[in-house]
Amino acid sequence: MKNKLSDCLRPLLLGAVLLASGAQAQFQSLDRVVAIVDNDVIMYSQLDQRLREVEQTIAKRGGQMPPQDVMQQQVLERLIVENLQLQIGDRSGIRITDEELNQAMGSIAQRNNLTLEQFRAALSRDGLSYEEARDQVRREMIISRVRQRRVAERIQVTDQEVQNFLASDLGQMQLSEDYRLANILIPVPEASSPDEIRAAAQKVSTIYDQLRSGADFAQLAISSSASENALDGGEIGWRRAAQLPPTFVELLRSLNVGDITEPVRTPSGFMIVKLLEKRGGDAQVRDEVHVRHILIKPNEIRSEAETQRLVERLYERIIAGEDFATLAKSFSEDPGSALNGGDLNWIDPNTLVPEFREVMAKTPSGQLSKPFKSPYGWHVLEVMGRRATDSSEQYREQQAMNALRNRKYDEELQAWLRQIRDEAYVEIKL
């Protein structure tokens, strides 16, 4: 592998280092506290380990090492802020289960195209034990959840902000389509006479007819176009929609790749444009399913087996002719749909847990599924319909929402990190 696998993980906060001393096999602690951070401490071994990691990273990039005291202060400050977030996570009761941690480690191995055993071996070659790596990933997951609770959940983006962003030059530039274009230009000089304008219009009309009859665009551009890129077959390269005149954007959005526009009058003359390629901004067609379900959850007074039997009885009652919606209102424990007779309305299957999605995919429209289990409990569902929906506009709005949220998150995160650092008790003993 090009990079060490340990580079996929943040450097570890190592515990105290004890070294054997002399033949008497007595141990002497060489570690010491370098900072007190609220109710915790940072040890010199942690600082030293992180410094070595940072130095390796800078060396790989071929960068110049900053003065040792400057880098040491920077690294210690980062450790202090990380420690504060971990303490917040501990006080908030954030815990990472072994199952979640195993899944995370498996995902890291998979991203590196390794089996778990190969991943363990690669970590060992990099001087990092699997247990140390797990502990590091656990801390990163805790910090991520702390930030989600304290920062991400506070960020609000209004519909008006989304619309303003979409209408802005920046928004249009970031979210617009890209087109690879070629053109043929028949010039109309300034102060041209009506006869000259008619002649140019006739010439471009003739070229347009030839193109529609199958003539090669590049050859006609070379022989007839007055554009500076004529000798390149008229190709002008990639252009963002936001960089093009609105008239051309409207025409291009109606074209398929390989199509040409009708002749368009521009300040320079008459122009025909060919769409060679297109990327971004494609129509976002998604499959949606109209589904309703009944959810029954195990609890303190109803065991897993009793829950399953109850769902099976409800399934039999529906098969026997009882009304699904009435039973859902009476029995379903999904607060979001029970009052609507279990109706989830039209829903994107990708937003559902795999167990529900798979059963829904196998159930024909107008049919009832057999009882099945998901992480939420036991279900029976009915597929009421399927459709394909063009969600291009919603997709653009979601892109704008994400861009605004990311911008606000970065700003809010930095402000929050400064706040917790300013409010903390920190005593540096370096």
Q: What 3-state class would DSSP assign to 353?
A: coil
Looking at the DSSP assignment, which residues form a beta bridge with residue 277?
A: 180
Per-residue pLDDT at 395 exceeds 90: no
Span of 78-92, 137-151, 171-185, 309-323 with lowest mean pLDDT: 171-185
Confidence bin at 17 (pLDDT 50/70/90): very low
Pull the structure tokens for residue 213: 């009859």
Per-residue pLDDT at 331 exceeds 90: yes
Q: How far is CA 113 from CA 5, 107, 192, in A?
A: 11, 10, 66
More confident residue, 241 or 16: 241
Per-residue pLDDT at 424 exceeds 90: yes
Please tell me the distance from the alpha carbon of residue 236 to that of residue 230, in angstroms, as a whole number. Answer: 9
pLDDT of residue 199: 93
Confidence bin at 272 (pLDDT 50/70/90): very high
pLDDT of residue 242: 65
Please tell me the distance from the alpha carbon of residue 340 to that of residue 337, in angstroms, as a whole number. Answer: 5
Q: Across the chain, what does the average pLDDT equal?
A: 85
Confidence bin at 27 (pLDDT 50/70/90): very low
Please tell me the distance from the alpha carbon of residue 160 to that of residue 38, in angstroms, as a whole number. Answer: 42
Contact 4/121 with Cβ under 8 angstroms? Answer: no
Question: Across the chain, which distance is largest between two alpha carbons, in Å?
Answer: 109
% of the chain surpassing 70 pLDDT: 90
pLDDT of residue 391: 57
Mean pLDDT of 187-197: 88
Q: Whose CA is closest to 258, among 210, 203, 212, 225? A: 212
Per-residue pLDDT at 38 exceeds 90: yes
Per-residue pLDDT at 373 exceeds 90: yes
Domains of the chain: 33-153 (1.10.4030.10), 176-279 (3.10.50.40), 285-391 (3.10.50.40)
pLDDT of residue 173: 65
Confidence bin at 285 (pLDDT 50/70/90): low
Confidence bin at 4 (pLDDT 50/70/90): very low
Span of 213-217, 284-288, 313-317, 426-430 with lowest mean pLDDT: 284-288
Mean pLDDT of 318-343: 94
pLDDT of residue 137: 92
pLDDT of residue 330: 94
pLDDT of residue 53: 81
Pull the structure tokens for residue 105: 């480690």
Question: Which among 106-115, 125-134, 276-285 has the top mean pLDDT?
Answer: 106-115
pLDDT of residue 239: 84
Residue 150: CB partners within 8 Å, gap ≥ 6? 88, 416
Q: What 3-state class would DSSP assign to 260?
A: strand
Confidence bin at 1 (pLDDT 50/70/90): very low
pLDDT of residue 351: 86
pLDDT of residue 390: 59
Give me the residue label for tokens 């093009």. 244
Contact 280/178 with Cβ under 8 angstroms? Answer: yes
Instruction: Convert the pLDDT of each residue in 78-122 to its tens digit.
Output: 899 999 999 999 999 999 988 889 888 988 988 888 888 898 998
Contact 12/132 with Cβ under 8 angstroms? Answer: yes
